[in-house]
Amino acid sequence: MPYARVRADRSTHYGHRRRLTGANVADARQAMYRQVAADLRHAITDGAYGSGGRLPAESALAEAYGVSRGTIRQALSVLRADGLVTSRRGTRRVVLGTARVPTFRESLSFTRWARSIGEEPGGRVVDIARVPADEVEREQLRLEAGDHVYRVLRVRTLSAVPVMVERTVYPERVGEIVAACDPAAVSHTVPMEERGVVITDAHHTIDVTGADEDDSRLLGCRVGDALLRERRRSTDPAGSPVEWAEDRYLPGTIAFAVHNSAAASSLSRRPAL
């Protein structure tokens, strides 16, 4: 069965995670259902069950992963929110074969995306500073020498479990809005929109990077561990840059999907930086 191979991988992964979070059993359990959901999502998108096929019963999945049926149900609820499986309980879930496509607003907002999949988002600003823009920041945000930016370091959570570290640089006019927010505010996007800062276009670059000391401290991983990285430059209707961001996710917490065709494609490849 497809999940038998995944189970072996899971035991290695969680051996490391338990050492890191053994003092907090609740956090480990919450992280486990997301890992199960990620494993099943990979199997589904790889075609292991086929469109219209059925997943194993909840009891079989629970035994295969060594977790409770409650954990399996939580994982299946995530897949249901993604549009990957049917919502009927008491029977084997049917694979629908196509993932739910996030809206543009959800793709830019961690809070909106988390709520769209039934998770409770959280956030905490670790550091915020108004500083002169460096060369890269001036290029990405189209600033002049001597202009200032706001640099924000923020940890994001799903159901109170840290899963991602945000590093966002804002031009001064936008950074002033963010700086006025409560450090524990769940969303920065909403107050920005309320002040007339609306994002209508974004360019995303996705790759893998090693965790640094901030990542290790905030996410509970080791320095050098692989993290999924999304770099993003967002602009407003006039084409003016609103943010230059770098988000780093723990493995197994999120997957990005790209659709392209012969008629139109937004997918490009380039050497890693």
Domain residue limits, the chain: 2-81, 104-249
Highest averaged pLDDT of the listed ranges 16-20, 58-62, 77-81, 213-217 = 213-217
Q: Give which of 65, 80, 56, 81 is closest to 33, Cα–Cα.
A: 65
With a cut of 80, say whether residue 86 has pLDDT above it.
Answer: no
Dist CA 45 CA 43 (whole Å): 6
* Lowest-pLDDT choice from 18-22, 159-163, 202-206, 208-212: 18-22
With a cut of 70, say whether residue 217 has pLDDT above it.
Answer: yes
- Please name the helix (run of DSSP H) or strand (run of DSSP E) that holds residue 189, with its range, or none: helix 189-194
Give per-residue pLDDT as tens, 178-192.
999 999 999 999 999
Residues 239-267, mean pLDDT to the nearest whole number:
81
Decide whether 2-81 matches 104-249 in CATH topology. no
- Single pTM value for the model: 0.66
Q: Which amino acid is at 253?
A: T
Q: Give which of 39, 98, 97 is closest to 72, Cα–Cα.
A: 39
pLDDT at 273: 61
CATH number of 104-249: 3.40.1410.10
CATH number of 2-81: 1.10.10
Task: Please tell me which residue, 132 or 256, carries the higher pLDDT value.
Answer: 132
